Amino acid sequence: MNKNKNLHISFFLTAIIVLMYIMFLISGEAFAKLFILKSSDITLILPWQFVTYALLFNSHPIFFFFAILLFFSFSNVLEDLWGSFHFLIYVIIIILSKSISSFLFGPLPIYGSESLYLCIMVAFGFNYPQERIFLFGIIPIRVKTLAIISMAIAPIGIIVTLFYTVNKSIDAGGLIPLNLWQSVIITGIFSYIAILIYFKKIFGKPKIIEVVNNKIKNAKEEIDKEIKEKENKKYLDIYNKIKEGQKLTKEEEELFSVIKSNDAHLCDIIDFDEKDTYCIICDKYGHCIKRKVEL
């Protein structure tokens, strides 16, 4: 597969989700039998259930309409950015990491698209941090902010689930027998492993390096400005002494004597102000001071 070619996987994925939702509305019971992963007994599992469980947006039709629009928008842009190959791999990791971990450790049954939706939103939000959406059509919020909030809520949801579970010691139903609280934590972590695997593409190592380099550059510029200002204040002191008729020290005379006032790169005399913040950090400050003294 060409890694940069757009095969419109996001469109087909969205179309399948819509079709699955219609089937769920027609018969939830039949849908559960065919598409939801609900047992660790391999003889009771249909192979596609490891994928189809995640394609159910179990919500009211109105909420589903807005959710699927956002999902398609995020997915489509992400596929354009990453290419179909990486987008498809990302989606596969999201879906299978939860289904396989649930099959092995529980809890079962599992259904719903929470991890898929969150992982797509996080990837989009951190690649396009300035993009905004309107919650309920009226509340503007950056997708990145919403992604951060959602990432914070995910572990809270796991904790709440454990807190309100009456019997935490019951078997979670996975192939490997674990208590419910153990399986919830393990599966909860694995559900979002795709974000760690695609950390560089989501959070952007080059972007992080760029931010760090900019911080270093800005700090260096500030230090250079302070050094230049300290040096140039010597010329300002010389100018003030000459202006007031005071005698210069030998060191000041030597410093001032090597400065040329006929530098072709000096600014116009009317633009120079010896007390101006911009002027006092300029490399040509000493030359401008001498020119002003000689006028």
Q: Are residues 158 and 240 in the same domain?
A: no
Distance from chain centroid for Cα 197:
14
Residues 243 and 162 in one domain: no
pLDDT reported for residue 38 = 82
Statement: the pTM of the whole predicted model exceeds 0.75: no
**Is 205 within a domain?**
no
Highest averaged pLDDT of the listed ranges 11-25, 106-120, 165-179, 225-239: 11-25
**Residue 236: C-alpha distances to residues 240, 243, 276, 289 (Å):** 6, 10, 11, 7
Confidence at 7, pLDDT banded by 50, 70, 90: confident
Do residue 189 and residue 149 come from a single domain? yes
Same domain for 108 and 58: yes
CB contact at 8 A, 80 and 6? yes
146 plus 243 within the same structural domain = no
* Whether residues 78 and 221 fall in one domain: no
> Which domain range does residue 69 map to?
9-197
pLDDT of amino acid 152? 78
Any domain includes 250? yes
Output the pLDDT for position 166: 47
Determine the pLDDT at residue 200: 80
* Average pLDDT value over all residues in the chain: 79
Where residue 14 falls among pLDDT bands split at 50, 70, 90? very high
Instruction: Tell me the per-residue pLDDT of 44-78, one tens digit each, with 9 for 90 and over.
Output: 888 898 898 888 887 788 888 888 998 999 999 99
CATH number of the domain that residue 21 is part of? 1.20.1540.10
What radius of gyration, in Å, describes the C-alpha atoms of the chain?
A: 32
Among candidate residues 170, 197, 224, the one where a domain is terminated: 197
Residue 204 is assigned to a structural domain of this protein: no
C-alpha 72/C-alpha 177 separation (Å) is 38
Residue 56 sits in the same domain as residue 123: yes
Domain assignment present for residue 34? The answer is yes
Same domain, 114 and 217: no
Q: Is residue 64 part of a domain?
A: yes
At position 162, the amino acid (one-letter code) is: L
d(CA 144, CA 133): 10
Asked if 58 and 171 sit in the same domain, the reply is yes
Query: Would you state the structure tokens that stand for residue 100, as one six-digit string?
Result: 């396989």
Q: Decide: 98 and 175 in contact? Cβ < 8 Å.
A: no
Q: Are residues 24 and 78 in the same domain?
A: yes
DSSP string for 37-61 = B--S-GGG--TTHHHHGGG---S-H
pLDDT at residue number 16: 92
238 and 167 together in one domain: no
Highest mean pLDDT among 35-39, 81-85, 281-285: 81-85
Question: Which whole number is the average pLDDT over 86-93?
Answer: 92
Q: Is the pLDDT of residue 192 over 60?
A: yes
Provide the number of structural domains found in the chain: 2
Domain membership of residue 206 (yes or no) is no
Residue 175 lies inside a defined structural domain of this protein: yes
Instruction: Check whether residue 145 and residue 265 sit in a common domain.
Output: no
Q: How many residues does the chain have?
A: 295
User: Of the residues 197, 231, 252, which one is the last residue of a structural domain?
Assistant: 197
Cross-strand bridge partners of residue 139: 135
The string of pLDDT tens digits covering residues 167-177 is 545 555 667 76
Degrees to nearest 5, angle at CA 165 with 162 and 169 = 85
Residue 3 lies in a domain: no
Where does the pLDDT of residue 102 fall: very low under 50, low under 70, confident under 90, or very high at 90 and above? confident
Provide the 8-state DSSP code for 140: E
